[in-house]
Amino acid sequence: MDPFINDLVAYWPQILTGLQRTLMLMVIISVSGIAGGVCVFYLKLVKNKTLRKWTEAYISFFIGTPLLVHLFLMYYGLPQLGIRLSAFTVAVIGFTLNVSAYNARYLTTAYNGLDKSELEAAHAQGFTHFETFHLIILPQVMRLSVPSLTNQVIQNLKDTSVAFLIQYHDFFAQMQEIAATNFHFFKAYMTATLVYLTLVSVVVLVARRMERSIALPGFET
């Protein structure tokens, strides 16, 4: 049998654990990123100008600076200030802050395309600012943002691989170990590529199905 296959079989439990960690991180940051994105998006719409400016600054900061720098800052930088966080905690916080900023931007872009007379109608009916947000604005911008949000989920899945640089033992970290141990670089990275491609394909299939299930007349994206 091919020595690489032997290695895969031998390392199978670690690979499986790594895969579980990758998927767990992806699911957590996708959910927290959408929740965070909705919160940041809400803050973009509040009446308080100062709060709106700070929110825009937050979005610009996280979109304008590399994710890896944030992860390194928290994992390697914070201990110098006496704050020690596990690799998993850093990954979840770092990704959430980053993904929330991107998601807020997608939602804001969708919001800019909304017919604002609906919002005036909601206020005229007596809905409060928050009711208008969650009953009128959010259901529409979420629908309009589905392609961008699902692309972000795919991006999240791929980006989890950088977490191995802060000692998070995900799938890619396990493949890296196999490659480095027995020098099967090409086969190991090729296998990793195929596994990521399979996972992304599953996410795409689920996303397209979801898009179809929530499609409404007038919301063709």
Partner 1 sequence: MALIEVRNLVKKFDDKAVLKGINIDLHQGNSKVLMGTSGCGKSTLLRCLNLLIQPTSGQIIFKGEDITRPGVDVRKVREDIGFVFQHFALYRHLTVEENVTLGLRKIKKMKSKEAVEKASHELNRVGMFEHRNKYPAQLSGGQKQRAAIVRALAMDPAVLFLDEPTSALDPQMSREVVTVINKLFLDNITMFCVTHDAFLAKYISDSIVFMDDGVIVAEDIAERLFYESVDPRIKQFFLSVIDHR
Smallest gap, in angstroms, from Cβ of residue 96 to partner 1?
Answer: 27
Q: Does 136 bind partner 1 (CB under 8 A)?
A: yes
Contacts of 37 (CB under 8 A, 6+ apart): 99, 100, 101, 102, 103, 104, 106, 107
Q: Residue 126 carries which side chain, given as an amino acid letter?
A: G
**Is the Cβ of residue 121 or residue 205 nearer to partner 1 in the bound state?**
121
CB 90 within 8 A of CB 75: yes
Q: Does 47 bind partner 1 (CB under 8 A)?
A: no
Nearest to 99 by CA among 122, 67, 71, 147: 67
Contact 93, 74 (CB under 8 A): yes
List, as one string, the DSSP characters of 88-122: HHHHHHHHHHHHHHHHHHHHHHHHHTS-THHHHHH
Q: How far is the CB of 151 from partner 1 (least distance, A)?
A: 22
Decide: is 98 part of the binding site for partner 1 (CB under 8 A).
Answer: no
Q: Does 221 participate in binding partner 1 (rule CB under 8 A)?
A: no
Q: Is 1 in the site for partner 1 (CB under 8 A)?
A: no
- Shortest distance (Å) from residue 105 CB to partner 1: 21
- Given 2, 124, 209, 212, the residue binding partner 1 (CB under 8 A): 124
Judged by CB under 8 A, does residue 51 bind partner 1?
no
Cα–Cα distance for residue pair 152/206, rounded to 1 Å = 14
Q: Which stretch binds partner 1 (CB under 8 A): 2-10, 24-32, 59-67, 137-145?
A: 137-145
Q: 192 vs 4, 5, 17, 179, 187, CA distance in Å? A: 13, 13, 14, 11, 9
Tell which one of 14, 17, 23, 123 touches partner 1 (CB under 8 A): 123
Per rule CB under 8 A, is residue 131 in the interface with partner 1?
Answer: yes
User: Which of 63, 120, 130, 205 is close enough to bind partner 1 by CB under 8 A?
Assistant: 120
Check: CB of residue 143 under 8 Å from CB of residue 192: no
Residue 218 as a binder of partner 1 (CB under 8 A): the answer is yes
Q: Which of 83, 115, 209, 212 binds partner 1 (CB under 8 A)?
A: 115
From CA 86, how far away is CA 92, in angstroms rounded?
A: 10
Q: Does 135 bind partner 1 (CB under 8 A)?
A: yes
- Three-class SS of residue 104? helix
* Binding stretches for partner 1 (CB under 8 A): 115, 117-118, 120-128, 131, 135-136, 139-140, 143, 216-219
